[in-house]
Amino acid sequence: MKQHIILFDHIRRFTRLETTHEAILVEKLKYKTVDRKCQLLPQDQVCNAYYFVLEGCLRLYKNTEDGIEQILQFGIPGWWLSDFQSFETRRPSEYNIQAVQPTKVLILERADYAQLFEEVPELNHYFRLMMQKAYMASLKKVELLLCESAEKRYEQFVNAFPNFVQIIPQYMLASFLGFSPQFLSMLRAKRC
């Protein structure tokens, strides 16, 4: 039950759950520790779970036609990560979900998802809010990629997530922000 405290704290920021409903949720969640580079979702498989990060970091990325890994999202402690499109459509995912470092997650599988919403309606509200936040974050990232310089994107990310920048490999940060690792090195050198 201890590993669920982070999730319950997160849920309480958006809605209130009765103790009995917390117990139902705990019953449906699976706890897993994954090693660095462990694939939770390989590309071309249907995504059948939502992952709530307790410790560590996950990444959602795509292998481009020219062999480059393009990172679209990171999942850090207190965040949900999934290929929501594959989960909802039940079509094979175009993405991979992989642990960036040793990571602890809570897993909500598709088999329990709909039933959980029926038994605990407050979670329907909570997940709707999480989807709205994920959508807004995606729009913000697109806006940054289209409207801001690479330097500005880097500055905003470093200011918003200073600790995170220290723990992920620089090539992954560069991929997420839409530029090469060499360009990131140049930007970092300019800041010093």
Same-domain pairing of 160 and 142: no
- Tell me the per-residue pLDDT of 52-100, one tens digit each, with 9 for 90 and over: 999 999 999 999 888 889 999 999 999 999 999 999 999 999 999 999 9
Is the separation of the CB atoms in 97 and 83 below 8 Å? Answer: yes
Residue reference for tokens 């500055």: 155
Same-domain pairing of 7 and 43: yes
Is the separation of the CB atoms in 157 and 67 below 8 Å? Answer: no
As for how many domains the chain has, the answer is 2
Same-domain pairing of 182 and 98: no
Same-domain pairing of 112 and 176: no
Same-domain pairing of 179 and 124: no
Q: For residue 192, give its domain range.
A: 148-192
Same-domain pairing of 117 and 157: no
Q: What is the residue type of 3?
A: Q
Backbone angles phi, psi at 141, to 5 degrees: -65, -45
- Tell me the per-residue pLDDT of 30-58, one tens digit each, with 9 for 90 and over: 999 999 999 999 999 999 999 999 999 99
Same-domain pairing of 51 and 134: yes
- Tell me the per-residue pLDDT of 98-127, one tens digit each, with 9 for 90 and over: 999 999 999 999 999 889 989 999 998 899
For 84, the enclosing helix (H) or strand (E) is: helix 84-89
Residue 1 confidence (pLDDT) above 90: no
Is the separation of the CB atoms in 62 and 92 below 8 Å? Answer: no
